[in-house]
Amino acid sequence: MLDAPYPYRTMVRRFRWARVVAVLLALAALTACAAPDANRGDLLTPDADPSGAPTAPEGSPPVPESLPVPAALDRDLTDPPERRQAREALVSTAIDPAVEDQRVVDAMLAVPRHAFVPTDVIDEAYQDFPLPIGHGQTISQPSLVGRMTELLELEPTDRVLEVGTGSGYQAAILAELSDEVFSLEIVPQLAGTARGVLDGLGYADVRIDRRDGYLGWPEHAPYDAIVVTAAPDHLPQPLVEQLRPDGGRMVVPIGPVGDVQTLWLVTREDGEARMQRILDVRFVPLVRDEGWSTQAATAVAGPIERRGTRTAASR
Ligand SMILES: C[S@@+](CC[C@H](N)C(=O)[O-])C[C@H]1O[C@@H](n2cnc3c(N)ncnc32)[C@H](O)[C@@H]1O
């Protein structure tokens, strides 16, 4: 019997410990369940996306695009006097004769084209021809950029869409003339490099996205003007629909891949689109999202955009 009370006390102690442990476990479980609910309440508004993604409050600034901006840009963003002189020489020999609108001429004097090309071709930046920018693509011929920009008849308050950001050069020219510039590029690396250059030169307001520009950027439509800098084989209907119905202007090269295309001025009045032939040109093709990687690679070997000759039929 003397031995009996000891196991009994041990049992009672063990029972008490078990109760303490059970209470502690219950408290821990309650805390674990409550914490996520508290976090969800902090992050989500009542009508939040059911996927659980937090929604931005109304009026907050637009979400910045995430483009692959290279850490080290192969571009020279400085503008020393010798580059400015070369630019002035290009403007007087190639832009002045081709472009009547002085605002466009001034924009082309202001934007340092050499900053948009890879450094191995920088010394050719102020010649009137297209230059390679990588990924089988080109920066357009300056006089053609001037001519296409002039056809848009931009006003400072206009909202402009460019399809085919490429180097970002045309987008910078547009930004010299209008407050709201949107530009779409299908090749992510080009979009990223253009983003870096435009930011570095003070054109951070230009909005760029990596998208199939055939479909336009409907979220910001209607546009007062649209410029397409790669050639589709027909007029993209989504772009026509995103053009302002009363007075919108679009400049677009249309024609077969790797051959001469026609530059058209499309104007919209009372919702109806009218087309006017302007010039014969040669542009890289407008490729669709499903095929850009292979088609862009093919374009490396093919002829590149150059200024076409004005024909009797192209007026
Ligand atoms: C002649 S380059 C444009 C030059 C450019 N505007 C500049 O100032 O450097 C044509 C560009 O259109 C792009 N492109 C082709 N198809 C496209 C598409 N469906 N959507 C957006 N960009 C496209 C090409 O990748 C290329 O960068």
Q: What is the pLDDT of residues 231-286, one digit of tens each?
A: 999 999 999 999 999 999 999 999 999 899 999 999 999 999 999 999 999 999 99
CA of 185 to the centre of ligand 1 (A): 6
Mean pLDDT of the chain: 80
What is the rounded end-to-end Cα distance, in angstroms, of the chain? 121
Gap from CA of 287 to ligand 1 centroid (Å): 9
Q: What is the pLDDT of residue 290?
A: 78
Q: Kindly give the number of the ligand 1 atom that is closest to the alpha carbon of 145.
A: 8
- Name residue 266's amino acid: V
Which amino acids bring their CB within 6 angstroms of ligand 1? Answer: 137-140, 163-164, 166-167, 169-170, 184-187, 190, 212-214, 229-230, 283-284, 286-288, 305
Ligand 1, closest atom to CA 130?
Answer: 1
Please list, in sequence order, all residues whose beta carbon lies within 8 angstroms of the beta carbon of residue 295, skipping any fewer than 6 positions away.
257, 285, 287
Catalytic residue (one of 140, 167, 178, 183)? 140
Query: Which amino acid, 241?
Result: E
Would you place residue 42 in the very low, low, confident or very high pLDDT band (cuts 50, 70, 90)? very low
For residue 130, how far is its CA from the centre of ligand 1 (angstroms)? 13
Residue with tokens 């760029």: 208
Q: What is the pLDDT of residues 125-135, one digit of tens each?
A: 999 999 999 99
Find the radius of gyration of the CA atoms of the chain: 30
Q: Coil, strand, or helix at residue 118?
A: coil
Most confidently modeled of 34-38, 178-182, 286-290? 178-182
Question: Which ligand 1 atom lies nearest to the CA of residue 187?
Answer: 25
Please tell me the residue having the least CA distance from ligand 1 atom 5: 166
User: Catalytic residue at 51?
Assistant: no
Q: Are 181 and 208 in contact (CB under 8 A)?
A: no
Whether the Cβ atoms of residue 235 and residue 266 lie closer than 8 Å to each other: yes
Kindly indicate the confidence band of residue 22, based on its pLDDT and cuts at 50, 70 and 90: low
Q: Distance between CA 160 and CA 181 in Å, rounded?
A: 5
pLDDT at 69 over 80: yes
Q: How far apart are CA 27 and CA 36, in angstroms?
A: 16
Are the CB atoms for 305 and 140 separated by under 8 Å? yes
Token reading at 245: 């119905």
Calculate how far, in angstroms, residue 117's C-alpha sits from the geometric centre of ligand 1: 14
Q: Which residue's alpha carbon is nearest to atom 17 within ligand 1?
A: 286
Domains of the chain as residue ranges with CATH: 81-309 (3.40.50.150)
**DSSP state letter for 91:** I
Query: To the nearest whole percent, how much of the chain has pLDDT over 90?
Result: 68
Ligand 1 centroid to residue 139 C-alpha, Å = 9
